[in-house]
Each structure stands twice: as structure tokens, then as C-alpha cells.
Amino acid sequence: MSKLTSVGFIPPPDFPLEEHNKVHSYLNKYKDTHKLQWSLFGLGWNGLAYRYRAAAEYDNEFTISIEKFGNSPPSEERYNQGKALFGFFVNAVSVIDCFCFSAYCMASILKPEKFPLSKSNELRLRTKGVASKFTDYFPKDNLTRKMDECLSADSYKQMNNIRIVLIHRGTPPRTFYEGGERSGMATMPVNPEAPSNQWQFDFPVDEQTTTLFRKWLSNTLEGLIDSANNFCVSQLGT
């Protein structure tokens, strides 16, 4: 199997390897003429690959544990499931963050005054802020549209809400059911960012809990990186 040029390892099979390598190849010619943009682009582009691989591994760990031990395992395995859940959502959202940071660095090659990178405070980029700048300065580019679609998607919003709660508030509770349509199921709050008396326990804990988000992430990332490749061709030239 092929390896990623930038990091040297074989990524998960649902990672857009070829397009990732193409973008890296395009940007490589700027490593001497635009050293700042190149070095920071590499930081994000490598990070993107690392975070996706980690998210995929945590997805596998969580799914295997649920299949083997169920949704209400002994405490030690419940810890393992919680660790995998945390690892998945934190890394999955970071994939998008790293992509947007890399896109910002690409744009800085063309418009360094509009996409500055020379001061510490200029590197404190928020993902939505990057998308907003692309809307301002590259309004018709497909990369701008793809970033907007990603950040406005319900799957992204839910992943990010879960990530924030897991990082800052702890481990979400599970509700278990006996009898009725949900008998044997376990659910977590679908709105964990809300106060506890407003939680809606509609987020199933099962073999698809992380896998469905991973599928969304894979499809979205493929579109983002393909658009980044087109941005290189149309904006940076061959």
C-alpha cells in the first residue's frame, strides 16, 4: 500500500491519500520562497494525517469494545470505551481544524497581507474565522464552499459539541432501557452542551456511535482535500 509523502506512514483505507499527496507536492515548491507559509502548512497538513489516523484507531477500539462487551460493560471496560470515545471526537474535530489551518497557510502565499502569519496572535486561528476569510477573498472558489458546507453540517456541529463537553465537563452519562422500543439500548445526551435538566437521551451507544461520524468525516475530508487540490491548480498554478 502507498504511504503519505509528508508523514511516511500508510493511512487508514478511507483516507484520501492520493489527493493529500498531490496538495503536499504542489506546496513543496514554496519551501524556499515562502518558508514561513510552507513550514506552518506542513504543521497542519501532517497534523491532519496524524489526527485522522488516531480517530480511525479510536473508532475501531470503541466499536470492537461495544461488539465484545456491550453498552453496559464492567467498570474497567467502561473506562476503555470512554477513553476511545474521547480520543475519537477530539481527533476527529482536530482533523477539520488542521485542514482549515493548512488552507489559511496556502492562502497566505497568495495574499500574505490578508492572511498574515508573522505574529503569535495571528496564529490563534479559529476554524470559522478561516472560512470567513475565504468567503471574503475567494468567494467563488470551491474550497470556500466546501469549508462552509463542512462547518454548517449537523454532523460537524454535533461532533464539536461532544468534543467540547468531553474536554471541559467530563464523561457523558448513559441511560439504559428495559422494555419498549428501546429495550436493551443505551443512549447518551444528543445535546450534552445543554444543562443536565434539558438533556435529550437520543444518541445511541452502539456499534455505529463513532463509525457514522467517521464515515461523514471521511467523505467530507475527501471533498475538502480535492477542493484544496483544485485551489492549488487554479490559484497557485502548476
* Domain assignment present for 179: no
Q: Is 174 helix (H, G, I), strand (E, B) or coil?
A: coil
- Per-residue pLDDT band for 71 (boundaries 50, 70, 90) equals very high
The share of the chain scoring above pLDDT 70, in percent, equals: 99
pLDDT reading at 236 higher than 90: no
pLDDT in the model for residue 119? 87
pLDDT digits (tens, 9 = 90+) for 201-216: 999 999 999 999 999 9
Cβ pair 63, 56 in contact under 8 A: no
Rounded Cα distance between 9 and 135, Å, is: 34
pLDDT reading at 238 higher than 60: no
Instruction: Work out the number of other CB atoms within 10 angstroms of the CB of residue 140.
Output: 6
* Domain assignment present for 6: no
**DSSP state for residue 118 in the 8-state scheme:** S
Cβ pair 200, 189 in contact under 8 A: yes
pLDDT reading at 1 higher than 70: no
* Domain assignment present for 201: no
pLDDT digits (tens, 9 = 90+) for 99-124: 999 999 999 999 999 999 988 888 88
Contacts of 208 (CB under 8 A, 6+ apart): none
* Domain assignment present for 189: no
* Domain assignment present for 134: yes
pLDDT in the model for residue 237? 73
pTM equals: 0.95
* Domain assignment present for 199: no
| Residues spanned by the domain of 159 | 17-173+207-236
* Domain assignment present for 1: no
Maximal C-alpha separation, the chain: 67
Rounded Cα distance between 214 and 208, Å, is: 9
* Domain assignment present for 188: no
Q: What total number of domains does the chain contain?
A: 1
